[in-house]
């Protein structure tokens, strides 16, 4: 036993059967129990499912995302659980470090490992560290209310949704987050992050754990998520006023169900969280983008592919980076993590890189 037998991973998916097959291949016969909650119009072909490894639990239904996520909470029977996007990847060695951390620190509710963004381009896998500035809360910040008032502290913990959590406390958070639908799909991350933060201590583990995929655009308006209404529009448009009031009210009541607190104190904390988020979105929306910032995007959009390929070999890297024509190769990017003291299993990362590259190789008829 290596610790991963204590972990379940929930993978909701919609319309990406090729990425589901990649997940199944990656996780098959590992100690982890993997629950794939597929809401696609049609299930994966039955021939592929005939020989599923016993640790892979594939369930297809026409239920929406919310129903499938709530159903997943009824299936988890391991001490720890993690949520994963269908095209993202977890690093098994990093997950082991996360499980070990929770085993050794009973007072900690969840842990978040270090993360990387990756994408594939013309046979090469590129990478970039994400949330490298993330740090634990200061020692004097203890208790749910204090954490909420410091949710956006400098160096805030990123990718909280993709941490490893204690299942018994994670389940009610998921049920509450997806208990009701709102007109903007952008509000659920706030609901989930707020309740996870309030529930218990979350710490950072210095191990490469979550690989965020740049292989697909986000699902916009499928599987019950409506991302055509952005957060500012949702907050400002009078027709959504009752939803906004309900959203804040539910956050307060669900948090109080998780851990009792004076209601007026909780209302203040929730108003701070939502207000700070709103302020940041408004600042971002109102910020004028300079021509100097726009120029690389314009060149990138207008330049034909042959010109980009030629420019990579001629122009200095300092320029091609600004044009987003040249990234850091995935395995080279690991050097940046190791220099910051992050644990990386090089052999495992090489295997993952080859898997991504093979996945994108054109099939030979």
Distance CA 77, CA 75 (A): 6
Q: pLDDT at residue 68 above 60?
A: yes
Ranges 124-133, 237-246, 250-259, 323-332: which has the least confidence = 323-332
As a whole-number percent, the residues of the chain with pLDDT over 90 amount to 75
pLDDT class of 287 with cuts at 50, 70, 90: confident
Residue with the larger pLDDT of the pair 118 and 291: 118
Region 321-348: mean pLDDT is: 83
Q: For position 307, what pLDDT does the model report?
A: 58
pLDDT class of 223 with cuts at 50, 70, 90: low
Q: What is the 3-state secondary structure (H, E, C) of the chain?
A: CCCHHHEEEEEEECCCHHHHHHHHHHHCCCCCEEEEEECCCCCCCHHHHCCCCCCEEEEECCCCHHHHHHHHHCCCCCCEEEECCCCCEECHHHHHHHHHHHHHCCCEEEEEEEEEEEEEECCEEEEEEECCCCCCCCCCCCCHHHHHHCCCCCCCCCCHHHCEEEHHHHHHHHHHHCCCCCCCCCCHHHHHHHHHHHHCEEEEEEEEEEEEECCCCCCCCCCCCCCCCCHHHHHHCHHHHHHHHHHHHHHHHHHHHHCCCCHHHHHHHHHHHHHHHHHHHHHHHHCCCCHHHHHHHHHHHHCCHHHHHHHHHHCCHHHHHHCCCCCEEHHHHHHHHHHCCCECCHHHHHHHHHHHHHHHCCCCC
pLDDT class of 6 with cuts at 50, 70, 90: very high
Ranges 132-136, 137-141, 217-221: which has the least confidence = 217-221
Region 86-105: mean pLDDT is: 98
Q: For position 365, what pLDDT does the model report?
A: 46
Q: For position 305, what pLDDT does the model report?
A: 53
Q: pLDDT at residue 3 above 70?
A: yes
Region 329-343: mean pLDDT is: 93
Q: pLDDT at residue 109 above 80?
A: yes
Phi, psi of 35 (to 5 degrees): -105, 110
Residues 155-174 as b or e (16 or more Cβ within 10 Å = b): ebbbbbbbbbbbbebbbebb
The per-residue pLDDT for range 12-41, each reduced to its tens digit, is 999 999 999 999 999 999 999 999 999 999
Region 87-96: mean pLDDT is: 98
The per-residue pLDDT for range 256-273, each reduced to its tens digit, is 999 999 999 999 999 999
Region 201-226: mean pLDDT is: 84
Q: For position 286, what pLDDT does the model report?
A: 82
User: Exposed/middle/buried for 305, CB within 10 Å: 0-12, 13-18, 19+?
Assistant: exposed
Averaged confidence pLDDT in the chain: 89
Q: For position 288, what pLDDT does the model report?
A: 58
As a whole-number percent, the residues of the chain with pLDDT over 70 amount to 86
- Hey, what are 215's tokens? 């292989």
Residue with tokens 């929770």: 102
- Hey, what are 192's tokens? 């989930």
What predicted TM-score, i.e. pTM, was given to this entire model? 0.89
Q: Name the residue among 112, 124, 292 with its Cα closest to residue 203.
A: 112
Q: pLDDT at residue 325 above 50?
A: no
pLDDT class of 222 with cuts at 50, 70, 90: low
């Amino acid at each position: 036993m290596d610790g991963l037998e204590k972990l379940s991973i929930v993978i909701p998916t919609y319309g990406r059967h090729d990425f589901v097959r990649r997940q199944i291949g990656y996780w098959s016969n590992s100690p982890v129990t993997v629950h794939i909650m597929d809401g696609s119009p049609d299930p994966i072909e039955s021939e592929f499912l005939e020989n599923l490894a016993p640790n892979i639990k594939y369930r297809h239904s026409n239920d929406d995302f919310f129903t499938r996520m709530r159903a997943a909470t009824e299936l988890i029977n391991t001490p720890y659980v993690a949520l994963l996007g269908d095209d993202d990847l977890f690093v098994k060695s990093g997950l082991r470090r996360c499980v070990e951390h929770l085993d050794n620190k009973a007072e900690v509710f969840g842990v978040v490992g270090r993360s990387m963004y990756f994408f594939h381009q013309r046979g090469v896998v590129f990478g970039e560290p994400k949330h490298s500035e993330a740090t634990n809360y200061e020692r004097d910040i203890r208790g749910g209310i204090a954490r909420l008032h410091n949710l956006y502290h400098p160096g805030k913990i990123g990718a909280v949704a993709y941490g490893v959590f204690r299942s018994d406390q994670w389940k009610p958070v998921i049920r509450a987050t997806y208990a009701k639908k709102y007109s903007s799909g952008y509000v659920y991350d706030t609901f989930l992050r707020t309740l996870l933060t309030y529930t218990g201590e979350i710490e950072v583990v210095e191990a490469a754990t979550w690989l965020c995929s740049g292989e697909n655009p986000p699902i916009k308006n499928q599987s019950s998520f409506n991302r055509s209404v952005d957060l500012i529009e949702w907050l400002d448009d009078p027709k959504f006023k009752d939803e906004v009031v309900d959203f804040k009210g539910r956050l307060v009541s669900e948090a109080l169900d998780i851990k009792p607190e004076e209601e007026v104190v909780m209302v203040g904390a929730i108003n701070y969280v939502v207000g700070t988020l709103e302020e940041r979105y408004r600042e971002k929306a109102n910020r004028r983008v300079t021509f100097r910032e726009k120029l690389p995007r314009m060149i990138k959009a207008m330049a034909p592919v042959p010109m980009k390929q030629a420019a990579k070999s001629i122009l200095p890297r300092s320029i091609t980076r600004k044009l987003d024509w040249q990234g850091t190769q995935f395995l080279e990017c690991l050097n940046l993590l190791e220099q910051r003291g992050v644990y990386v299993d090089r052999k495992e990362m090489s295997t993952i890189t080859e898997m991504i590259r093979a996945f994108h190789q054109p099939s030979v008829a």
